[in-house]
Chain A
Amino acid sequence: MTGGGRILLGHGSGGKLYRDLVRDVFLAEFSNPVLERLEDAASLATSGRVAFTTDAHVVQPLRFPGGDIGRLAVAGTVNDLATAAARPLALAAAFIIEEGFALAELVEICRSMKRTADEAGVAIVTGDTKVVQRDAADGLFITTTGVGEIVVGHELGAETVREGDAVILSGTIGDHALAVLAARGDFHFATVLVSDCAPLWDLVEAAVVAAGEALRFLRDPTRGGLTMVLNELAESSGLGVEIEDEAVPVSPAVRSACDLLGYEPFSLANEGKMVFVVAAQKAEELLGALRGRPLGARAARIGHVTAAHPGRVALRTAFGTRRVLDMPVGELLPRIC
């Protein structure tokens, strides 16, 4: 391919360079029959209810322990579909690439997208590419859109949640946010932090099968972390949520980095976790189904829905005291001393 190993403005201009880029990178890496037709729109066969979602991905650095922007872009959209109990059917990917971006890195990222899509059992069937001039983008932005087939017959959502329902979390929190911050090289201390970035459809499918109609609500705690999901749950359901501090799994590496930097694990982003609300009588079955899979090995029942303090999330500490768990505000900022 021409261009001296770098993306040129011409790669986005629709001419021969563009065709080469599509053929040598996207078609080669994503290889699947729908994409290979190179039509402007892919045709999909569906039956029943469909979920539809889109997500723009920007991250610095583009690669970090446990993932990269490609894995993030695929997992993010697969997981958004999963929150509607939807099996992913097809993904679209749009790339905004900065002039001068290394072709080899783009290929690596596309390979990672393909691997992640394979894990989730889905294909990238259509897409688009734009190249912007140097300094008009931070290397590479990827937007993914997904269509999924909803596998449950009943309604899911905060409004279906009832007093006494169990709140279950699929694993440890805070790993992604801190792994990315550490990968930026800001910390000046060595860490063993690894992002949890992963597509969760398999895990969610297991939960859906185990809980059946008892499953009420699921959400992935990405930006804003667990606090954001729980506060939205409380607000939308008009009920309260009570969480046991000690029941929430946090890895020792995240715990100590948070202690050093003054962050709250509850407010940190995750990219491979799911929060489930399930009727209490099915909680253990759902938990068992999660724990039977590698991505759910550390799943835990972290709290319950209550009629008390409607619209609010309470955290019960190890010491038996109780406090509000509020939505995070603005950017994450380390404390001073």
Chain B
Amino acid sequence: MGSRAAEALRRLAAELAGAAAERLAADTGARAAGGLTFMEVCGTHTMAVSRYGLRDLLPAGVRLVSGPGCPVCVTAMRDLDLVVALARVPEVTVVTFGDLVRVPSSRTSLVEERAAGADVRVVYSPADAVAMAAAEPARQVVFVGIGFETTAPTVAAAVLEAQARAAGNFSVLCLHKTMPAPLRALLQLGETRLTGFILPGHVSVITGTGCYEFVAAEFGAGGVVSGFEAPDVLESLLMLARQREPAIEIQYRRAVHPEGNPVAREFMARVFEPSDADWRGLGVIPGSGLAFREAFAGFDARRRFSVEPGEPLEPKGCRCGDVLRGALDPSGCRLFGLRCTPETPVGACMVSSEGSCAAHYRYRALDDDGRGLA
């Protein structure tokens, strides 16, 4: 399949070059801005783009920047500090997904806290945390709920299960964020003239596409919900370049339905309600997060534990915030690849496997003379 896949991809790239040239010829605004700039919102897309080296294949005049779609990366420092403060409570077991444990907070990380004696565990599913609470009634099991609409329904389901099992020692620190709101914030900010978005695939499985319509209607930008394979991403870029009128389309038809998944949304809505959320790089965005509904307040770790993490300290020189807004390419940060590497990360974007900086670093293109290498 090797050469056939490569050939198919090259054909897509050539079509994209043609479509981009036509678009640029017709679109004076884009020409004035120096070309077409698309943003991939989701961290898994960031990863795929870097992993397959897709930037190598982009024609002149087409730029792809990464957006605020890595759940760990957009978590505010204050919230990370809160997680660490909870981990320091002697009776608390902090349970979380994946790479959150390595993210530096103001003063330390969960990995370091664990080495110093804190009880920090990684699970694949929030249901595991409920089972843990049931098995260890003497511990206070706090699940760190992080992620977008992809993970929030499973956390809601875990809360409902904990309620059914009367697991009084289970709670959730809800740091969930929801998707379309940061796109509005980015477009309002207008730092970068965005022609369109590669919209998140997994999130859209849940949300459907109606929530993105404002992108086209109010801001004149396009959007295509994309799959995660290399040809998916190129085809989505091609669809975006070919849009004569801004519109929201679906390339990832094998998984995404315009209506989304109402059952999953219903789970979320039973347990959580919209709230303001603090985004690294974007600040507080109204209605962009999730908080417990009053009926489930008993499961809210914020209410159960009174911990005060202290003033957050942003690492000096770290430009994660600019990277998350697509305003800076990771390599434009002075720490990138020098003081900040996956082994010694300064900012969250270098830690998470879906972070822009980590993806750019891990999958950086390789010149024969070693240019661009740290």
Contact = CB atoms under 8 A, between A and B. Distances in A.
B9 A336 contact: no
Contact of A321 (B43, B54, B373): B54
B365 A336 contact: no
Interface string A233-254: 0000000000010100000000
A334 B147 CA distance: 13
Contacts of A337: 43-44, 71, 147-148, 150-151, 202-203
A317 B50 CA distance: 11
Nearest to A306: B368
Given A246-B2, A321-B57, A322-B366, A333 B202 contact: no
Contacts of A310: 370
Interface of A: 186-188, 244, 246, 261-262, 308-310, 312, 314, 317-324, 326, 329-330, 333-337
Nearest to B368: A308
Nearest to A307: B368
A9 B72 CA distance: 46
Contact of A322 (B124, B365, B370): B365
B296 interface: no
A118 to B, nearest CB: 38
Given A336-B72, A337-B202, A319 B53 contact: yes
A329 B342 contact: yes
B236 to A, nearest CB: 16
A315 B71 CA distance: 28
B101 A309 contact: no
A309 B370 contact: yes
Interface of B: 1-2, 5-6, 9-10, 43-44, 47, 50-54, 56-57, 71-72, 97-102, 111, 122-125, 127-128, 146-148, 150-151, 202-203, 230, 342-343, 352-354, 361-370, 373
A314 B373 CA distance: 12
Given A309-B368, A317-B230, 18 more contacts: A186-B123, A186-B128, A187-B124, A188-B125, A244-B2, A262-B47, A309-B370, A318-B6, A319-B10, A319-B57, A322-B56, A323-B51, A333-B99, A333-B101, A334-B97, A335-B354, A336-B72, A336-B98
Nearest to B354: A335
Contacts of A323: 50-51, 53, 363-366
Q: Chain A contact residues: over half helix, strand or loop, or mixed?
A: loop
A247 to B, nearest CB: 8
Nearest to A322: B366
A188 B124 contact: yes
B365 A321 contact: yes
Nearest to A314: B366
A336 B362 contact: no
19 contacts: A188-B124, A188-B125, A244-B2, A308-B368, A309-B366, A309-B368, A317-B230, A319-B57, A321-B52, A321-B53, A324-B363, A324-B366, A326-B342, A334-B97, A335-B44, A335-B98, A335-B354, A336-B151, A337-B203
Nearest to B229: A259
A82 B97 CA distance: 39
Contacts of A322: 53, 56, 365-366
B113 to A, nearest CB: 15
A48 B272 CA distance: 72
A334 B146 CA distance: 14
B202 to A, nearest CB: 6
Nearest to B342: A329
B123 to A, nearest CB: 7
B72 A326 contact: no
A336 B124 contact: no
A330 B148 CA distance: 26
Contacts of A321: 52-54, 56-57, 365
A336 B373 contact: no
B368 A317 contact: no
Contacts of B124: 186-188, 261, 334
A209 B98 CA distance: 45
B6 A326 contact: no
A312 B53 contact: no
A8 to B, nearest CB: 28
B116 to A, nearest CB: 16
A324 B367 contact: no
Given A186-B124, A312-B370, A335-B98, A324 B5 contact: no
A66 to B, nearest CB: 21
Nearest to A187: B124
Identify the 6 closest CB pairs spanning chains A and B, nearest first: A321-B53, A337-B150, A308-B368, A321-B56, A333-B98, A329-B342
B95 to A, nearest CB: 12
